[in-house]
Amino acid sequence: MVFSLTISSRAFLIVAFVVASTQSVSVNADDVPLNQLIDRHIDATLAERKLSSAEPASDAEFMRRVYLDLNGTIPEPKTARAFIKDSDTEKRTKLIDQLLASENYETHMATFFDVMLMERRPDKYVTTPEWRTFLAESFGANKPLNTLVAEILGADGVDEKLRPAAKFYLDRAVAKDVLVRDIGRLFLGIDLQCAQCHDHPDIDDYLHQHYHGLSVFVAGSKTFKQPDGKFVLQEVVMREVEFASVFDPETTNKTGPRLLDALMEIPEVKEGEEYVEKPSRTVRSVLKFSLRKLLSEKLPSEETPEFARAMANRLWAMLMGRGIVHPLDMHHAANPPSHPELLDELASRLSSSKYDVKDFLRELALSATYQRSSLIPDGIDPETLPADSFAVANMKGLSPEQLFESLLVATQASAVLEQQIDEALSEEAAEAAAAKTVEKPDSEKPATEEPDAEKIAEARRVKRAARVTEFITVFGSVPGQPEGEFAASLPQALFLANSETVSSWVPAKPGNLTERLAALDDSGQIADELFLSVLTRLPGQDERTLVKEHLEAGKADRPKAVAALVWSLLASAEFRLNH
Amino acid sequence: MKYDPACSSAVHQVSRRSMLGNMLAGAGGIGMLGQLVHPLVAKEIEAKKKQVLIFLLNGGLSQFESFDPKPNTDTGGPFRSIPTSVPGTHFSELMPYTAQIADKLAVVRSMFAEKVPGSHGGAREYVVTGRPPQQGPYPWIGPVYSKLLADNEDLPGNIHITPSRWGPRQDAAFLGPRHASLVLSGGKPPLNVDRPDLFNKELDDTRYKLRQIADLRFSQRRRTAYTEAYQSSYDQAAQLIRQKELFDVTKESEKDQLRYGSHDVGRHCLMARRLLQKGVTCVKVTHNNYDSHMENFNFHLEQLGEFDQPFATLMQDLDESGALDHTLVMLVTEFGRTPVIQPDNGRDHWQDSWSVILGGCGIQTGGVLGATNDNGTEISDRPVHVGEMFHTYMRAVGLDPTATHQVGGNKVPIGAPERAAVKELLI
C-alpha cells in the first residue's frame, strides 16, 4: 500500500489510515491503471457490505452520460446511431478520448469550474466571458490543475494575460471573510465558517486558529483602482493576526499564516523596507514578500495534502454524482470518506500525474464503476443500495447550461434559434435607427456604417447568453451558493411546458426535429428518430406502439401530433436527469 | 475583540443567548391579553385546515404612525391618535379602518432584534425565519407552512403577491423549491401559465399523458426520490394551468372590487382572499415603500392611506365567513423607525422596538402585549424577540416549533432552539 500523503497529527488522517488498514485491498497500486484500481476498491466494499451492483450501462446510456459529463450536452442522433451500431470493442475508450479532445470539453469545463468557483455571483470587475475564456483555454491546454489554482490564488489583476484569474478575488470584492471561507471550502474541502469566532462547535477538527491562519494570507489584500479605472489587487504588510474566542474574549491568541496545522515561515523584512511600492492613494502598493504569492505556492502543492484530496473528490463527484467525502466541503473525522483508501489513491494519482485533469477524468470514465447502469438490479430494493456505495450509477440533474444545450440539440433548433436571435437584433437595429432619425435632421445623419462582422458576432453571443440566463434564473442555484442536489419546482415545470423559449423550438419549423419527423411516413422510423434525437436511445416495442397509436389518432395534423410527442420526451425525467 | 461574522451556517447556534437572557429576565408583566379568552373550542379549530395570511410591509413601518402612537411628545410627529374598537387602545389616525377591527387583532408593541448584517434584507430575513441571517439560509415562514401544512397538496402551498418584479429567490432554502414562494409579480398570474398556441386543450392533456407514461417507464427500477419530485412538479403545473382563473381577480364581484379599491394593494388583498377561499395554505401580500428616511409623515400618510382600508376589509371578510377561525393573520415589517425625527422629517431604521400585529387562528385577540415608554424611545414592558415570534407563528396553527426539519441526514430545529413561543399571545 502506498501512502504518498504525509501522516500528520490531524485526526482525520489518522482515522482514514486506521479505517483503510482494516479494509485493505491487496493491490499494488503503482502498476494498475487507475480505472481498475477504482473498481477494485468499489467492488471490495460492495462485497464486504454484501451489496449487489447494477449491470453495465448500455452503449446508449453510457454515451448520453459521458457526453453530458465531458461535453455538457447530448449527442446528435446520427452520432448516437453510429456509436450504438459500431462493433469496435474499444469504442467506449475512443469516445472518451474524442470527447476530451473536443472544443465542447473546454467550454463545458469552463462552465463547470466557473459555477464551482464563482457560484453564479454577479460580475463585478472581471466579466464572465473573459473568465470563461481563460478557463476554457486552461482546460483546453490541459493546464495542470495546481497551476490553474496557483494562478487564481496568486493573481493581482495587473498582468493582462492572467487578469481573468483575479476574478476569484476581485469579484468577491477581496472581502477577507468571504475569501477565507471559500478558499477553505473550494480548495481544501473544509468549511471553516463556524471557526471564525471560536473552535468549531460540532467539528473537532476545525479550529479557530485554522480560520485565522488562513485569513493572514489575504488579510493584507485590498482592491486598488488604477488611473485607467481598472480595479486590481494591492497588498499591505501583514504578518500575523490576533484573535480571541467569543467564549474567552480575555485570552488573545496570535497566528502567522497557516494552512490548517502547517504554520508558514515568512522571511524577516526590516521595518520600512517591506515595500517595492509604498501604499499611497495614487500608487498600488506592492510588497517585496507577498503572502498571496506564498498562498499560491503552498496551497496547491504537495505540502498541503488536503488540496489534492479536495480536488480529486470534486472531480469524482462531477462524474459519479456524489463525493467520496460528501458534502464536498466537509472533510473531517466525523464525516469520513465512504472509501478512504480509494480517496487516498485518487489524490495521490492526481498529484503524481502533475494534476493532469484530462487523464484523471479519463480514468474515472473508463472505470466499470462509472459505466454502471442507473437501473437498479431486478428484485433489489433501492433503499438497500446507498448512494455512497456506487453500486448503481447515481443520477444527476442537468445543469441549466446542460439543459439549454441539450434541448437545442434534441429539438434540432439551432437554425431556429439563430433566426430568432437575428430577428431580435434587426428589430433592435430598426428601433435604434428610428430613434436616430427622430433626433437628427437628415443632413447630419452619418453615412450608413458597414456592419462589422465582429460586432455582429458579439451581439449574437450576447443574445444567446441571455437565453441561457433565462434557464439559469429558473434552474440555477441562488447566487453565492453552491449548486445543490437536483430539485424540481413548479416554475421549472411551467417553464418547460409553456415558455416562449422552449415552446418555440418544438413546433415544426424549417430544419427542426418536428418538421423532419412529420415528413416521414413510417411510424416505426419516426419513433426511432424521435427517441434517438431526444433520449439518445432506441425505443422499446411498447414505445413504438405508443407512437404508432398516437400518430394514428392525430393523423389530421401530423406535425402537431409529432410536436406533442417531442415535448413529452423533452419534459420527461429521463431527459431532465443525467442517468 | 469584536467579530463581524460573515458566516452563514445552518448550525450556528452560539452566543447572543446570554445577552438576551439578561434582558428577558428583567421583563415582567403581561398585558391585558390574559383576561380575554377566545370562545373558540380547540377541537373545532383542529377540524378545519389551517391557513395563513401574511402581510409584509417592506421598508420598515413606523410604529409611531401606526400601532404605537405617541401624540404630543417630542417623538410623536404631527398625527393624532384615535380610539379603536378595543377600549383603552389607540392607533394612529392614519389607520381609521384598522382601528375599527382592533378587537380582531393582537398588537405587540415591544418587538426587538439585534442588529444584523444586510440592512433591510437581513432584518427582514430575521423576522421571517426567526434566525439571524448570517446563520442561514433558513427557510422563510411561508415555505415552512407549505412544508408542514401542505406537503401533499396539488395547489402551491405558498403564494406571494408582490408589486415587485421578483420575490425572494428560493426562500425555501433547504426545504427545496417545491415549497418556494410562487410569485405573483404585480399581482399577475405566475410566469408561463399560458399554454402555447400549439397545444389546444385536448392536445394539452395528451402531451401531459404522454409525458407521464414516459416518466412511469423511466422510474421503474430507478431511485424514486428525483422522479417523484419531478412528476409532482408537473402535476402542480397541470393543475395550475387548469385553474388559471384562480389568479383572475376580475372574477370577483364588482362590489368587492370597489370595496377593496382599484389600487395595487387593494387588488392584491382581494386576490389574497380569493386564493385563501380556493384553499391555498399560505398567502403573503407585500406592500412597499415604508423606508421613510425623508418625509416620513407624507410617506406614511400615503402608504397607510392605501393599505388601511383593504387590510381591514379583508380581516372583516375573513371574520364574517368564519375563515379567521382557521386562518392565522400576521402583519410584519423588518424593523421600526427611530423615535428621533430627522431634520428632513425622516425617521431612520430602529430595531430596538417596533410593533407587530397578529389575528385569527390560535391568537388571543383584542389586546396589547408589551409597551414602550412615553415617547417610544425604549421598551418598558415585556420585550418580545423576533425569534420568539417565529415560535408563536408556529404554535398558533398547532405546529411544534421545537420539532425538527429533516435535512439530508441532519435534523434542523424548526424554530431557533434558544427561543420559545410567547404564551400570552396564544389561546
The position carrying cell 421600526 is B336
Does A381 map to a domain? no
pTM of the predicted protein model? 0.82
A568 vs B210: CB contact, 8 Å cut-off?
A: yes
Q: CA A463, CA A362: separation in Å to the nearest integer? A: 34
Which residues in chain B have Cβ-Cβ distances shorter than 8 Å to A322?
none
Of A379-393, B307-321, B367-381, give the lowest mean pLDDT range: A379-393
Of A137-146, A433-442, B18-27, give the lowest mean pLDDT range: B18-27
Q: Is residue A483 domain-shared with residue A361, that is, in the same domain?
A: no
3-state SS, residue B9:
coil
- State the pLDDT at residue A448: 57
Q: Is pLDDT above 70 for B11?
A: no
Q: CA A245, CA A211: separation in Å to the nearest integer? A: 12
| Residue numbers of A between 293 and 352 with CB closer than 8 Å to B | none
| Residue pair B213/A546 in contact by the 8 Å Cβ criterion | yes
| Residue numbers of A between 242 and 261 with CB closer than 8 Å to B | 242-244, 246, 249, 252
DSSP string, A365-396: HHSTTTTB-SSPPTT--GGGS-GGGTSSPPPE
Within 10 angstroms of residue A544's Cβ, the number of other Cβ atoms is 17
Q: Is pLDDT above 90 for A199?
A: no
Q: Is residue B158 domain-shared with residue B303, that is, in the same domain?
A: yes
Top pLDDT among B382 and A23 is at B382
pLDDT band at B242 (very low <50, low <70, confident <90, very high): confident
| Residue numbers of B between 128 and 167 with CB closer than 8 Å to A | 137, 156
Strands B349-350 and B371-372: what pairing? unpaired
Q: Is residue A209 domain-shared with residue A233, that is, in the same domain?
A: yes
Does A341 map to a domain? yes
Which of A298, A322, A347 delimits the end of a domain?
A298
Q: Is residue B216 domain-shared with residue B93, that is, in the same domain?
A: no
DSSP-assigned beta bridge partners for residue B357: B107, B331
Within 10 angstroms of residue A467's Cβ, the number of other Cβ atoms is 15
Q: Is pLDDT above 70 for B15?
A: no
Cell numbers at B403, concatenated: 420539532
Element containing residue B354 per DSSP (H, E): strand B354-360
Of A163-167, B64-68, B146-150, give the lowest mean pLDDT range: B146-150
Which of A281, A298, A315 delimits the end of a domain?
A298
Of A186-200, A389-403, A435-449, B361-375, give the lowest mean pLDDT range: A435-449
Q: What is the pLDDT of residues A345-357, one digit of tens each?
A: 999 999 999 999 9
Does B308 map to a domain? yes
Q: Is pLDDT above 80 for B35?
A: no
Please report, rounded to a whole number, the percentage of residues in chain B having pLDDT higher than 70: 87
Please report, rounded to a whole number, the percentage of residues in chain A having pLDDT higher than 70: 92
Q: CA B77, CA A205: separation in Å to the nearest integer? A: 56
Q: Is residue A256 domain-shared with residue A359, that is, in the same domain?
A: no
Which residues in chain B have Cβ-Cβ distances shorter than 8 Å to A201?
11, 13-14
Cell numbers at B270, concatenated: 382581494
State the average pLDDT for chain B: 86
Top pLDDT among B124 and B23 is at B124
Does A286 map to a domain? yes
Of A370-379, A563-572, B12-21, give the lowest mean pLDDT range: B12-21
Q: Is residue B222 domain-shared with residue B368, that is, in the same domain?
A: no
- State the pLDDT at residue A446: 55
Task: Out of B4, B11, B221, name the one closest to residue A202 (CB).
Answer: B11
Q: Is residue B166 domain-shared with residue B196, that is, in the same domain?
A: no
Which residues in chain B have Cβ-Cβ distances shorter than 8 Å to A490?
156, 177-178, 182, 190, 233, 236-237, 240
Q: Is residue A115 domain-shared with residue A171, that is, in the same domain?
A: yes
DSSP-assigned beta bridge partners for residue B56: B286, B332
Q: Is pLDDT above 70 for B14?
A: no
Contacts of A241 (CB under 8 A, 6+ apart): A212, A215, A216, A219, A254, A255
A497 vs B192: CB contact, 8 Å cut-off?
A: yes
The DSSP symbol for B363 reads B
Task: Out of B11, B170, B192, name the one closest to residue A499 (CB).
Answer: B192
Q: Is pLDDT above 80 for B274?
A: yes
| Residue pair B282/B51 in contact by the 8 Å Cβ criterion | yes
- State the pLDDT at residue B410: 78
Q: Is pLDDT above 50 for A5?
A: no
Q: What is the pLDDT of residues A298-315, one digit of tens each?
A: 999 999 999 999 999 999
| Residue pair A63/A71 in contact by the 8 Å Cβ criterion | no
Which residues in chain A have Cβ-Cβ distances shorter than 8 Å to B198?
503, 506-507, 560, 563
Does B1 map to a domain? no
CATH of the domain at B148: 3.40.720.10
The listed range with the strongest mean pLDDT (A226-230, A231-235, B196-200) is A231-235
Cell numbers at A116, concatenated: 464551482
> Integer distance in angstroms from the first to the last C-alpha of chain B?
45
Q: CA A64, CA A167: separation in Å to the nearest integer? A: 33
Please report, rounded to a whole number, the percentage of residues in chain B having pLDDT higher than 90: 65
Q: Is residue A503 domain-shared with residue A540, that is, in the same domain?
A: yes
- State the pLDDT at residue B46: 43
pLDDT band at A450 (very low <50, low <70, confident <90, very high): low
- State the pLDDT at residue B2: 39
- State the pLDDT at residue B170: 72
Q: Backbone dihedral region of A354: left (phi > 0), alpha (psi from -120 to 50 degrees) or beta?
A: left
Q: How far does the CA of residue A445 sit from the closest CA of chain B (Å)?
A: 38
Number of domains in chain A: 3
Chain B, nearest residue to A574 by Cα: B218
Q: Which residue from B418, B273, B366 is spatially nearest to B86, judged by alpha carbons? A: B366
Q: Is residue B345 domain-shared with residue B396, that is, in the same domain?
A: yes
Within 10 angstroms of residue A316's Cβ, the number of other Cβ atoms is 27
Q: Is residue B241 domain-shared with residue B272, that is, in the same domain?
A: no
Q: CA A272, CA A241: separation in Å to the nearest integer? A: 20
| Residue numbers of B between 278 and 317 with CB closer than 8 Å to A | none
Query: What ipTM was reported for this prediction?
Result: 0.88
Q: Is residue B235 domain-shared with residue B123, that is, in the same domain?
A: no
Top pLDDT among A330 and B75 is at B75
Of A96-105, A526-535, B30-39, give the lowest mean pLDDT range: B30-39
pLDDT band at A479 (very low <50, low <70, confident <90, very high): confident
- State the pLDDT at residue A198: 78
- State the pLDDT at residue A29: 56
* A527 touches B at CB < 8 Å: no
3-state SS, residue A577:
strand
The position carrying cell 399581482 is B187
Q: Is residue B225 domain-shared with residue B328, that is, in the same domain?
A: no
B3 vs A246: CB contact, 8 Å cut-off?
A: yes
| The total number of residues written for chain A in this structure | 579
Does A62 map to a domain? no
Q: Select the residue from B14, B138, B199, B204 to test the A interface by mutation, using most A Cβ atoms within 10 A.
A: B199
Query: Stretch B158-174: mean pLDDT, rounded?
Result: 81
Q: Is residue B288 domain-shared with residue B364, that is, in the same domain?
A: yes
Q: Is pLDDT above 70 for A511?
A: yes
Query: Stretch B380-403: mean pLDDT, rounded?
Result: 96
The position carrying cell 473550494 is A186
Does A47 map to a domain? no
Within 10 angstroms of residue B397's Cβ, the number of other Cβ atoms is 23
Which residues in chain A have Cβ-Cβ distances shorter than 8 Å to B215?
572-574
Q: Is residue A246 domain-shared with residue A131, that is, in the same domain?
A: yes
- State the pLDDT at residue B174: 86
- State the pLDDT at residue B108: 98
Q: Which residue from A482, A487, A472 is spatially nearest to A115, judged by alpha carbons? A: A482
Q: Is pLDDT above 70 for B292?
A: yes
Does A406 map to a domain? yes
Number of domains in chain B: 2
Does A29 map to a domain? no
Q: CA B405, CA B61: separation in Å to the nearest integer? A: 32
Contacts of A457 (CB under 8 A, 6+ apart): none
Query: Stretch B293-318: mean pLDDT, rounded?
Result: 96
Q: CA B356, CA B331: separation in Å to the nearest integer? A: 6
Q: CA A107, CA A339: separation in Å to the nearest integer? A: 31
Domain that holds residue B54: 19-189+265-425
Chain B, nearest residue to A176 by Cα: B6
Domain that holds residue A320: 1-20+302-372
Does A61 map to a domain? no
